[in-house]
Structure 1
Amino acid sequence: MTLSARNPQLDSTAPVQRLCIAVPMLNEEKLVLQTLEALAAQEYRAFSVVVVDNGSTDDSCGIVARFAAAHPWLDVRLVHDPEKGTGAAADTGMRFGVDHGAQWLARTDADCLPEPTWTARIVQAFGDGLELIAGQLIPRDDEGITAWERRTMLLAVEVASFFGRIRPGNKGEGYLGPYQMLPGCNMAITAEMYTRSGGFPRSRIEDLHEDRALSNRVRKLTRNYALRRDVVVHGSSRRVKAWGLKNTLAWYADHRYRPDHVDIR
Structure 2
Amino acid sequence: MIPVYNDAGMLQTCLTALARQTRPADEIIVVDNASTDDSAQVAHAAGARVVFQPKRGIPSATSAGFDAARGEILARLDADSIPPTDWLARAVAALDAHPEASAITGTADFYGGNAFQRWFGRSCYLPAYFRAMGMLLGHPPLFGSNYALRADAWLELRESAHLDRDDVHDDLDLSFQFRPGMTVHFDRGLLVRVSARPFGVGGFVHRVRLGVITVAVNVLRESPATRRRRRALWT
TM bin, normalised by shorter chain, reads 0.7 to 0.9
Counterpart of 1:10?
none
Tell me how far 1:144 sits from its aligned partner: 3.3
Offset of 1:35 from its aligned partner? 0.7
CA shift in 2, pair 1:244/1:96, >3 Å: closer
**What corresponds to 2:122 in structure 1?**
154
Indicate if the aligned counterparts of 2:59 and 2:162 stay in contact, CA closer than 8 A. Answer: yes
Distance 1:52 1:127, change over 3 A: same
2:162 counterpart of 1:201: yes
How does the TM-score come out when normalised to structure 2? 0.80
Task: Pick from 48, 51, 70 the counterpart of residue 30 of structure 2.
Answer: 51
Structure 1 residue 232: deviation in Å? 1.4
SS at match of 1:184: coil
Residues 49-128 of structure 1 aligned to structure 2 (within 5 Å): 49-68=28-47, 76-97=48-69, 100=70, 102-128=71-97
- Structure 2 vs 1, CA of residues 92 and 244 (structure 1 numbering), >3 Å: closer, same or farther? closer
Name the CA shift for 1:201/1:49 in 2 (closer, same or farther; >3 Å): farther
Residue 195 of structure 2 aligns with an amino acid whose one-letter code is S
Q: Whose helix fraction is larger, Structure 1's or Structure 2's?
A: 2
Deviates more, 1:247-256 or 1:86-95: 247-256
Could you give the per-residue CA deviations for residues 148-188 of structure 1, whole angstroms, max 9, x where no partner exists?
A: 43222222211232222444xx4xxxxxxx13121112111
AA of the residue aligned to 2:146? N
Shift of 1:244: 6.8
Matched AA of 1:191: A
Q: 2 CA distance for matches of 1:244 and 1:48?
A: 32
- TM-score of the pair, normalised by structure 1: 0.72
Aligned residues: 210
Structure 1 residues 179 and 127, CA, compared in 2 at 3 Å: closer, same or farther? closer
What are the ranges of 5 or more consecutive residues in structure 2 without an aligned counterpart? 215-235
CA offsets, 1:200-249, max 9 Å, x none?
Answer: 532444x111211211212x14244211112212112212246376x366
Q: Cα RMSD (Å) of the superposition?
A: 2.2
Partner of 2:105, secondary structure, is strand
Counterpart CA distance in 1 for 2:27 and 2:76 is: 11
Q: Distance in 1 between matches of 2:163 and 2:22?
A: 32
Q: Secondary structure at the match of 2:90?
A: helix
Query: How far apart, in 2, do the equivalents of 1:238 and 1:252 lie?
Result: 16
- Deviation at residue 55 of structure 1 after TM alignment: 0.2
Cα distance in 2 for residues equivalent to 1:33 and 1:50: 13
> Counterpart amino acid of 1:111?
D
Identity of aligned residues (%): 26
- Aligned twin of 1:229: 188
Query: Which 10-residue stretch deviates more, 180-189 or 88-97?
Result: 180-189
